[in-house]
Structure 1
Amino acid sequence: MGKMTVLKIKRLLEEKLSHPNWVFTYDRENESLRVEDKETKKGISISLQGVLSKYEQTNDINAIEEYVYYVKEALTSMKMPVQLNGAERHIYPVIRSTSFPTTSNDIPLVYDEHTAETRIYYAVDLGKSYKLIDEQLLQRENLTKNTIKEMAMFNVRSLPTTMKEDVVAGNTFYFVRSNDGYDASRILNDSFLDSFKKQVSGTMTISVPHQDVLILSDIQNEVGYDILAELTMSFFVNGKIPITALSFLYEEGELEPIFILGKDNKKNK
């Protein structure tokens, strides 16, 4: 494919987002691409440099899919009338990478800082998709961020946490993959993490490589860290909405990123 450039990214996005109702405007000076709905005149601007640097981090075309999904989701949900009052049971937290935009259509999204790698956004579930909650929606519904956060945390704790396990070289990896859109969000369920911690005999790690998986690991030896690094990277590059290829140690309720350095088996927390 040759070296990826801003213009190649622009062409790829136009190709993937081709839609009879959507028009593209390219701002050469700011290297941004705006996608707008002809009917609503609402749209979203993408910083192409941001997409390029995300691509360069992973060198994988799937990095672009995150933005494609985000634009599609934003443009579709702009047409849907959304209410929060009466939808209390349908508000959930969603985990995103820190490179994910903090505004939608120039309106600030409601979010909380989480780790150096991840951020918590809040969404209202619409069945087949969900809409990220922005400040405007909060004001219109006369709700505070704190209320939304409490609802979201209550709801994520009530989601089932069924796990499949896999043992490799004495290390056990547990996967939560319920495909409800909130698998990674279960990293916010402290009581679930605490009860898992009690069963672990080695080192407990947590990974959220993309939105639709949560990986909990019981690492027993150095090889376990290499397997974990390969595993999370594989999930990260293949995820519809990638989050982070780094894993976290879970100590006293705190998440701390682990950097696994290649095959020399050194860990640097």
Structure 2
Amino acid sequence: MDSKRMKSELEKRLSNSNRTFTYDRKKDELRIENKQSGKGITIALPGIIAKWEEKKDQAIDEVVYYVEQGLQAMENDLTMTGEEKRIFPVIRSTSFPIKTNEDIPFVFDEHTAETRIYYALDMEKTYRLIDQKILEKEGWDLERIREIAMFNVRSLPTSMKEDQVAGNTFYFLNRNDGYDASRILNESFLKKMESQLTGKMAVAVPHQDVLIIADIQNDTGYDVLAQMTMSFFASGRVPITALSFLYENGELEPIFILGKNRKK
């Protein structure tokens, strides 16, 4: 599968009389826009091709679903008043855009050196990131959004699966509700996990749909976590960061792991 074939397949699957397609050869990106509103979604083809090599047509199905739901959400009028229970924080990498394609700033907070906190209105099958234009229309401010979103993320279930490797225990939260990585913002949950672990606590959010917590007992644990995080990062639909974090005294500090040597 090359970019030409992938571009052709996506255009065929997403074809609609009300849409236009623009291909940026230099960036190897395909943009799909609504003709009337000019709103659209840009997708990087190399990442989709890499996933196609592993998942074949399932990778294309996922992208088509994501684009269809995203375009539909963009065309709906967004109302937050009365919908407070549907406002959640979402974690993104610091390389994620801070403005919409219409140059409207997103509402966000800084989080770590690797991540930012954006805010979204849940729309069942997808969600829409909240921007300054929506905020002004509703007459809200960032503090109100932040308080509501953080309250809501604490209400999300936190049951985890567990695996042990070389004396280290790894916990995985993967409910596929769009907010798995967002649980990293649930401070009471992190503190509860910390109290139950006997080794060093490490946390990872390689992509939107997984949160990993590790009970590190030895150097092998760091190596396993690094490999695991990189694997999840490469396969995620919305990658965040391949780095992990040490959790100490309520703080998240990125850790860099090289082979059997680790350094903060």
TM-score interval, smaller chain: 0.7 to 0.9
CA deviations 1:151-208 (Å, max 9, x no partner) are 0000001111101111111000011112211110000001110111111111100000
Please report the RMSD computed on the Cα atoms of aligned residues, expressed in angstroms: 2.7
Q: Distance between the aligned counterparts of 2:67 and 2:163, measured in 1? A: 35
> Residues 14 and 124 of structure 1: is their aligned pair in 2 closer, same or farther, counting only changes over 3 Å?
farther
Q: Distance between the aligned counterparts of 1:132 and 1:202, measured in 2? A: 37
Using the size of structure 2 for normalisation, the TM-score is: 0.85
Deviation at 1:74, TM superposition (A): 4.0
Contact 2:69 2:125 (8 Å CA) reproduced = no
Contact 1:176 1:213 (8 Å CA) reproduced = yes
Deviation at 1:212, TM superposition (A): 0.9
**Structure 1 counterpart of 2:209, which letter?**
D
Give structure 1 stretches of 5+ with no counterpart: none
% identical equivalent positions: 57
Q: Distance between the aligned counterparts of 1:70 and 1:100, measured in 2? A: 17
Q: How many residues align?
A: 252
Match of 2:38 among 38, 42, 47: 42
* Secondary structure of 2:82's aligned partner: coil
Q: Which residue of 1 aligns with 2:97?
A: 101
Q: Which residue of 1 aligns with 2:153?
A: 156
Contact 1:210 1:242 (8 Å CA) reproduced = yes
Using the size of structure 1 for normalisation, the TM-score is: 0.83
Q: Distance between the aligned counterparts of 1:216 and 1:261, measured in 2? A: 19
CA deviations 1:31-69 (Å, max 9, x no partner) are 87543112x3322374x8xx58x95xxx9457x989977
* Secondary structure of 1:42's aligned partner: coil
Contact 1:205 1:248 (8 Å CA) reproduced = yes
Q: Which residue of 1 aligns with 2:179?
A: 182
CA deviations 1:111-140 (Å, max 9, x no partner) are 111112111110011111111111111111
Q: Which residue of 2 aligns with 1:86?
A: 82
Deviation at 1:13, TM superposition (A): 5.0
Give structure 2 stretches of 5+ with no counterpart: 53-58
Q: Which residue of 1 aligns with 2:56?
A: none
Contact 1:111 1:120 (8 Å CA) reproduced = yes
* Secondary structure of 1:258's aligned partner: strand
* Secondary structure of 1:108's aligned partner: coil
1:113-192 alignment to 2 at 5 Å?
Answer: 113-192=110-189
